[in-house]
Amino acid sequence: MTLTQALLFGILGATLVLFAWGRVRYDIVAVLALLATVLSGIVPAGLAFSGFGHPAVITVAAILVLSRAVRDSGIVEPAARYLRPLADRPHTQVLAITGLAAVCSAFMNNVGALAIILPIALQSADAAKRPPSQLLMPLSFGTLLGGLATLIGTPPNIIIASARMAETGQAFAMFDFAPVGIGVAVVGVLFVSFIGWRFLPTRDAGQAVEDARSLFHIEDYITEVRLQEESPFVGRRLIDLEALGEGDVAVVALVRRKDRMLAPSGYLRLQAGDVLILEADPAALQKVVDEGKLDSLGAAKMSVESLRSERVMLAEAVITPGSRLEGRTAQAMRLHTRFGLNLLGIARQGAPITERLGRVRLTAGDVLLLQGERDSMPESLAALGCLTLAGRDISLGRRKIRWAAPIIFAVAIALVVGGALPPQIAFVAAAIGLVLAREINPRDLYDSIEWPIIVLLGALIPVGVALETTGATEVITAPILALQGQVPIWMLLALLMIVTMLLSDIMNNAATAVIMAPLSIGIAKGLGVSVDPFLMAVAVGASSTYLTPIGHQSNLLVMGPGGYRFGDYWRMGLPLDILIVLVAVPLILVVWPL
């Protein structure tokens, strides 16, 4: 092993540790890895950012835009509405939700498919009086299984297709993944629907997303105060008084004579005698009462239901990875001042957080209970990067389907399948077509792209190339090739898939594909066989992120609403992983012979 190879292995090892640690966001970790390889001379400085122009990166960005447009078109919602009557039998309910998720995610972003079906799944669980924990993890796994079926179903497939292009001069086509992917998806969906869901916990905590009263217990923190005439805040704006609470106090209502205003504007001028109904813990409340010279009237006799009206709603929302809230506090975000939202509660992994809300550093997967104006709530949540969960104030409605986006997307797929255009050109053209058709405005075009994923891919692609150029691939594959003649090749294929699965459970699946693709090619070349089955093994393994919530965004997003703990995922994920290996390896060898 040369010094350069040793340095590269050290950088990759540190990168893997940081991915598994999870305290540093994955795109930052990827950039750090790239900088380390450049500064150590492993990757030439002139090629440091070549990955951002890679066809796989461009294709992923375009697919994210198209997926968002298809999701917003409303084309999936009619099918989703038919899930509601299927609540009588648990396995039928799970099968319908998981199957729909798999079909949707074959042609759109996994998280986009989950965003469409998650509210329906929660409503369906509520209608059947079952804990959402029995439905949400199957929903997440369904989106991962469906992504196996097509080139555009998941970023790892796009990366694997590009790796084949670099090695053989011909990429995998749109439906080359289908024979193996559909077979695995069908078996996986059937397992999850009839057997797997029985391994999941049935905690009541998950039901609390539908019942703010049982999860957040906010009545315990609601107090009435009256503004005295000598208060220094008479004549000043409500936000000036709120500032005393430093993000830990929410004014949920204001009573002025006979008028009762829910979620009052922060710019309302206060008057002597105003009664404010505050949601706060005792420590934060005492500071506001003392410094604001307020009369404490004791606990307010209010229920959760009284905090909503025709104008004001309560909503539960989950923080998505990459949200503006991730890693920040409510105090720093100034939710009421900037977004018109009162933060009334935070739940993490199905349990409420009881410490001062304004000081809590928010993380992806946290469930927030928010109060705000009904008309502006959806826009505010979208701006913050939060996914709305089902609730009493939220209904799907019957909106008119906008057909332009699905048609443009279908034309782009047809052009790729027919070989008229390469994927990156066809899908970028389709995204621009959506702008010209006014189906998406330029700002939403950029907002649709998950930039952390793009940065991750752009940064790691040169690192993956370095594995080949430095000869590190040969060093890694040598022990595996030494097994040639001692074990059959199908066992090596299974071993490669299992290692890829384990890596994808602790690091982003796209990053796993970038690193494992050159290794799979090295193994195939060393064995003197076709690279196709080994690339397919990596494609299946990279998307099999079923053991932890951190391997994929879909798993993380259902963690809070489902009340799951970190260790819950392997209950259904481990037998599913074993089943996938048993099904995928023979399928790969039949469809893609050595």
Give the model's pLDDT for residue 215.
59
Select from 518, 486, 583 the least CA-distant residue to 544.
583
- Sort residue 293 into left (φ over 0), alpha (ψ -120 to 50) or beta: left
Across 546-550, average pLDDT? 90
* CA angle in degrees (0–180, nearest 5) for 317-446-338: 45
CA distance 269 to 247: 19
Query: What does pLDDT average to over the chain?
Result: 87
Higher pLDDT, 171 or 305: 171
Residue 544 has pLDDT above 90, yes or no: yes
Give the model's pLDDT for residue 390.
55
| 26-54 tens-digit pLDDT | 899 999 999 999 999 999 999 999 999 99
CA distance 402 to 68: 13
Select from 190, 164, 191 the least CA-distant residue to 176.
164
3-state secondary structure 193-239: HHCHHHHCCCCHHHHHHCCHHHHHCHHHHEEEEEECCCCCCCCCEHH
Query: How many other C-beta atoms lie within 10 A of the C-beta of residue 140?
Result: 33
Give the model's pLDDT for residue 303.
65
H-helix or E-strand spanning residue 262: strand 259-262
Domains of the chain: 3-207+406-591 (no CATH), 211-389 (3.30.70.1450)
Q: What are phi and psi for residue 434, nearest 5 degrees?
A: -65, -40
User: Strand, helix or coil at 278?
Assistant: strand
Q: What are phi and psi for residue 114, nearest 5 degrees?
A: -65, -40
Q: Tell me the residue length of the chain.
A: 594
| 183-209 tens-digit pLDDT | 999 999 999 999 999 998 876 443 433
Across 128-137, average pLDDT? 85
Cα 472 to the center of its chain, rounded Å = 33
* Helix ranges (DSSP H) in 385-508: 404-417, 423-436, 442-447, 451-469, 472-481, 489-504
CA distance 364 to 324: 10
| 367-416 tens-digit pLDDT | 888 988 988 888 888 888 888 885 434 444 455 778 899 999 999 999 99
DSSP conformation class of 297: E
| 304-343 tens-digit pLDDT | 667 788 888 888 889 988 788 988 888 888 888 888 888 8
| 63-82 tens-digit pLDDT | 999 988 888 887 877 766 66
Give the model's pLDDT for residue 91.
85
